[in-house]
Structure 1
Amino acid sequence: MYPPSTARARPDAIAYVMAGSGERINYAELDRRSNRLARFWQTHGVGPGDSVVLVMENSLAWPVAVAAGMRSGLCVTPVNWHLKPAELAALISEDRPAAIVTSTALAAQVVAAAGDPRRDRPVIVCADGPADGCVALTEALADQSSDPLDRELLGARVLYSGGTTGRPKRFAQPLLGVHPADAPRRHSGLVDALGVGFDSVLLSPAPNYHAAPFTFQLITLAAGGTVVCMEKFDAAGAMRAITENGVTHSQWVPTMLIRLLGLPDRDGIELSARHQVAFTSGAPCPPHVKEGIFEWWGPILHEYYGASEGYGHTYISPPDARSHPGSVGRPLGAARVHITDSAGADVDPGVEGTVCFEAADGPDRPTDASRPALKQMGDIGYLDEEGFLYLVGRRGFMIISGGVNIYPEEIESVLLAHPAVADVAVVGVPDAEFGESVRAVVEVRPGASVREDDLIAHAREHLAHFKAPRSVVFTTDLPRLPTGKLDKRRLVDRFGSPGAAAYPRTGSPTAPGNSTMSENPSQQGERV
């Protein structure tokens, strides 16, 4: 993403549009503002190799901050702005940024998470106005030259993605030490399959801190196209944005597609002839959802699967999705998929095992070609005879809800801090809209009483809301192994279905087991 590449030839071309407000920025202005922000950071000692953390809602400041970082050799690190202060502080402590960009709504907790003001701490820019401990973006840009830095360097993406340990992992792309104009094409096979180019108009309805929106906004802007960014997803608004902005490409997670298909007046919605490519990722898209989109929009929905770390990707086209329902496709480019058993040996087609990508040429590839380096993300699946990949579950019982990875161990730790909780386990429950929802299974301390709503509120007080359970059931005998560890397999078998029975009801509203399922959709709204 290097704005001058487009600004020189098409200065008035629109780079970024906010779908709700209609605010927009063209490539010439994006070039000027990003230069000024890069220079501001330079005056505060922020330079190549440093990290800039973005903690802010979707806004027109987003592409300015990203472009400034990507043209000044910084590690651009978007993070989930729904994190609680303690979660955010731990992430900032690990990343050690030299700069942060945030908003007035989030400034107080960001400033607190950034550390002691008497010690060195990052320079914090507030995108939409003044705030204590921050420099307003307008003030930061005011006295800076719009000329590029004397030595521009390509920055790198940094993402916090999931591992099986329950803690987000920091993954940083390498800094290549090249000029931004010489940046290599990213995900070229996927970009070619989706046809992203200078005339593309991409609808990006998800939070920008997610890996897929972040990546495909960069790809679209690098191609000279236009990004139409929703402030917050809603199904009807997304359909309006497609028509009103001449959207050609759109990116979704399956939960969004389910909400689109659930619109009450769907048959009366005018479809745009320009909308020719839709694509989904983040979680496997159920075949019936794909078919519903095909029947409504035509055969334009593509799907891809892969890791944020870039180990490899698979891709499936609309025709192949119909002939291979449930598949996430075949490998793209040089990537190869292996399905391995517990000993790491490849299994036959049709046999389930751990999904692994073979490392392409690079430092992870061994010199002995007979022993390929394999990278896996904890997914279980199988390959058919034609090499199409099918996913069947997650190793380690990580929950994927609305395309977001959620770790049971973190939620269990918070709930165990409640004075009425003796023991707890968290499982994913099939959910028609989100793929999975979070359920807590709780043993109550002898003599104590607690309601389901109390535990959900406790979780929401200490965790981002999308991690909080949607339902709580009570039991007197959580299954454990002789080692004392939770027997997750038995746990899922007993409590991992929507109608799973809890401890018998006693009639008392605070008694163990007298739980009703929480159906508050607002708890799920932040996941997409």
Structure 2
Amino acid sequence: MYPPDIAEHAPDRTAYVMAGSGHSLTFGELDERSNRCAHALGDLGVAPGDALVLLLPNGPAWPIVVAAGMRSGLQVVPVNWHLGTAELVPLLTDAAPAAIVTCGELLPGLLAALDAVPATPHVLVVDGPADGALDLESLLAAAPATPIARELLGARVLFSGGTTGRPKAYRQPLLGVHPREAPKRHPHLAERLGIEAGIRFLSPAPSYHAAPFTFQLMTLGVGGTVVCLESFDAVRAIEAIGRHEVTHSQWVPTMLSRLLAVPEEQRGGRAPSHRVAVTSGAPCPPELKDAVTAWWGPILHEYYGASEGYGHTYISPAEAAERRGSVGRPLGTTRVVITDEDGAPAPTGTVGRVCFGAEPDAPLRGMGDMGRLDDDGYLYLTGRATFMIVSGGVNIYPEEIEAVVGAMPQIADVAVFGVPHPDFGEQVMAVVEPAADADPTTLGEEVVAHCRARLAGFKAPRLVEIVERLPRLETGKLDKRALRARYVAEG
């Protein structure tokens, strides 16, 4: 995304608008304010290659700060702002940011986390002066509106949980080129979705997620307009599509379920402008696709893949109707291989571990899912290879929750896994073995409260089952697979 390219010939075109407040930025304003932000960061000593963390809810400051980082050669690190203080510490330690942009509401928790982090970044707030932080707006007002002397393309750093739940960074490489020379983002997907100048893209999810972050940059990069919800609400999302004449939108399956839960007379028919919807983040059940198609018509596309960029598959609405349950075929140079338990390629039609290779000769990367390929190379997912939970399109790692619950003196043993949920896809369930002196009548509530006090709310168990003893194999290893299978079967 390089705002001057659009601002040069269309300075008054809207680049970004908040669906609720109506606060908007033209491309001319985005160019000017991101220049000022780039100067302000440079004056603080933030240099190319440094990390810039965004701990921000959706809002009008988001595109300004991202654009500033992307034209200053910085590592732009969007962070889940729902994380608690203890959860931020390992992430910030790894990121080692030179600067963090946040808001007043999140500042106390951030400052508490920084007390345990070796780095000493500059902290900037977007919504007015606050103790312990610099006021971003004052810095912008004092900075030049012209480009910095040496503009360089920045890169995104994505934090995932890794297999143990500890944050693990995937750093896109800094290419050392001018932002105008940036390679196109997901060109094969953009072509199939018709992402081009003039589109109006609805971004209903938190902007720190990989897909919204990327789709926003893709839209702005071609001179389209991003319509951003402050937070997801089904009714407001439907209203925004019509009010802002949205042409494109991106959802996770849970959001689509929420949209369909709105009474039919309230949600109405498809807005005439709305011609492309995309689902990603978790497999979309065929029945859900059918219901969306009955409402919007055949406009729902799906892609599946790794946020880290190992590769993606894609399926069009027409293909999805013919190959129910498939998440499509590889895009671009991506190759998909199904492997057996030994890591060897499995025969066509055999269920095994889904692996991606970003290039024909690139190493294979396991995706954590089980699946099969048909004779035409279409991928069908059949289950999870790991116990990672995908709830509402968000990855949740059981090991992290087990560590928190297991630290309770009332708990002798614990297993955490995902069980099906009609809206979220999966929900977090904890099965606990109480200590000898624990009160089983209150233990479930105590587990939930303990987790909510130490973890982001979406990680707290929604279901807690108390058992006399958890099953373990002869090796002593918890037999979580059999345990989960039992609760899934019981519904």
Question: What TM bracket, shorter-length normalisation?
Answer: over 0.9
- Number of residue equivalences: 489
Cα pair distance change 1:49/1:418, threshold 3 Å: same
Query: Match for residue 215 of structure 2?
Result: 216
Deviation at 1:266, TM superposition (A): 4.5
CA contact (8 A) 2:278 2:302 kept: yes
For 1:53-452, list aligned pairs within 5 A: 53-115=53-115, 121-266=120-265, 269-360=268-359, 365=361, 373-449=363-439, 450-452=442-444
CA distance in 2, matches of 1:201, 1:387: 33
CA contact (8 A) 1:14 1:26 kept: yes
Gaps of 5+ in 2: none
CA contact (8 A) 1:427 1:495 kept: no
CA distance in 2, matches of 1:472, 1:238: 33
* One-letter amino acid of the counterpart of residue 13, structure 1: R
CA distance in 2, matches of 1:262, 1:339: 36
Deviation at 1:419, TM superposition (A): 2.1
CA distance in 2, matches of 1:413, 1:328: 34
Deviation at 1:112, TM superposition (A): 2.0
CA distance in 1, matches of 2:220, 2:488: 42
SS at match of 2:430: strand
Cα pair distance change 1:220/1:432, threshold 3 Å: same
CA contact (8 A) 2:412 2:435 kept: yes
Deviation at 1:178, TM superposition (A): 0.4
Deviation at 1:168, TM superposition (A): 2.8
SS at match of 2:53: strand
CA distance in 1, matches of 2:444, 2:37: 48
Query: Match for residue 456 of structure 2?
Result: 464
Among 444, 452, 466, the residue aligned to 1:474: 466
Query: Which segment drifts farther, 269-278 or 8-17?
Result: 269-278
Deviation at 1:92, TM superposition (A): 0.5
CA contact (8 A) 1:164 1:378 kept: no
CA contact (8 A) 2:196 2:223 kept: yes
Query: Which segment drifts farther, 471-480 or 202-211?
Result: 471-480
CA contact (8 A) 2:269 2:296 kept: no
For 1:480-491, list aligned pairs within 5 A: 480-491=472-483
CA distance in 2, matches of 1:140, 1:293: 46
CA distance in 2, matches of 1:483, 1:23: 60
* One-letter amino acid of the counterpart of residue 96, structure 2: R
Deviation at 1:229, TM superposition (A): 0.5
* One-letter amino acid of the counterpart of residue 259, structure 1: R
**1:33-79: CA deviations, max 9, x gaps?**
11111111111110100000000100000000000000000000001
Query: Match for residue 519 of structure 1?
Result: none
CA distance in 2, matches of 1:77, 1:464: 19
Deviation at 1:357, TM superposition (A): 1.2
Gaps of 5+ in 1: 366-371, 500-528
CA distance in 1, matches of 2:80, 2:17: 21
CA distance in 2, matches of 1:271, 1:411: 41
CA contact (8 A) 2:10 2:27 kept: yes
CA contact (8 A) 1:428 1:439 kept: yes
Query: Match for residue 525 of structure 1?
Result: none
CA contact (8 A) 1:108 1:132 kept: no
Query: Match for residue 18 of structure 2?
Result: 18
CA distance in 2, matches of 1:164, 1:412: 13
CA contact (8 A) 1:125 1:140 kept: no
CA contact (8 A) 1:247 1:274 kept: yes
SS at match of 1:397: coil
**1:273-311: CA deviations, max 9, x gaps?**
110000000000000000001000000000000101111
Deviation at 1:494, TM superposition (A): 2.3
* One-letter amino acid of the counterpart of residue 471, structure 1: L
CA distance in 2, matches of 1:143, 1:324: 57
**1:229-272: CA deviations, max 9, x gaps?**
00110111100000000100000000000011111234652531
CA contact (8 A) 1:57 1:81 kept: yes
Normalising by the residue count of structure 2, what TM-score does the alignment of the two structures yield? 0.97
Deviation at 1:483, TM superposition (A): 3.0
Query: Match for residue 32 of structure 1?
Result: 32
CA contact (8 A) 1:12 1:26 kept: yes
CA contact (8 A) 1:479 1:491 kept: yes
**1:460-506: CA deviations, max 9, x gaps?**
0000000000010011121112332211211212233464xxxxxxx
Normalising by the residue count of structure 1, what TM-score does the alignment of the two structures yield? 0.90
* One-letter amino acid of the counterpart of residue 133, structure 1: G
CA distance in 2, matches of 1:473, 1:321: 38
* One-letter amino acid of the counterpart of residue 257, structure 2: I
* One-letter amino acid of the counterpart of residue 455, structure 1: V
Deviation at 1:120, TM superposition (A): 6.0
Cα pair distance change 1:496/1:68, threshold 3 Å: same
CA contact (8 A) 1:430 1:498 kept: no
CA distance in 1, matches of 2:244, 2:489: 42
SS at match of 2:386: helix
Deviation at 1:349, TM superposition (A): 1.9
